[in-house]
Amino acid sequence: MTIAPICPAPIMQHETVQMAHGAGGRLSQALMQRVFMPHLHNSFLDLLDDQAKFDLPPGKTAFTTDTYVVSPIFFPGGNIGELAVNGTVNDLAVGGAKPL
């Protein structure tokens, strides 16, 4: 008897951009490497990090850009504001950023 997986792995090759490409996982990375990196690679982008650090006097500046789209904006256990702040702080902390 063959049992189908409950949560099969997503198909990795698509002719068009899918919603899953924006989720930050394997499909996002595959899209970046296949479409953008061959044309836009540099020392910052080659890291494929979810944030960036720049050497700017008198120290370093770190930032991240993300989009948070949730409907409704208030949901059980949270809201879009908490989601945005926590997601941003997480991205910066994982990148090694420290508060001033």
Same domain for 92 and 60: yes
Rounded to whole angstroms, the Cα distance separating 49 from 86 reads 17
Take residue 22 and report the two structure tokens written for it: 């924006």
The answer to whether the beta carbons of residues 69 and 56 sit under 8 Å apart is: no
| Whole-structure pTM value | 0.54
Domain assignment of residue 10, yes or no: no
Domain assignment of residue 70, yes or no: yes
Same domain for 86 and 60: yes
pLDDT at 18 over 90: no
Calculate mean pLDDT across residues 27-40. Answer: 86
Calculate mean pLDDT across residues 41-55. Answer: 78
- Which of the pair, 17 or 78, is modelled with greater confidence? 78
Domain that holds residue 31: 21-48
The answer to whether the beta carbons of residues 48 and 31 sit under 8 Å apart is: no
Calculate mean pLDDT across residues 35-57. Answer: 80
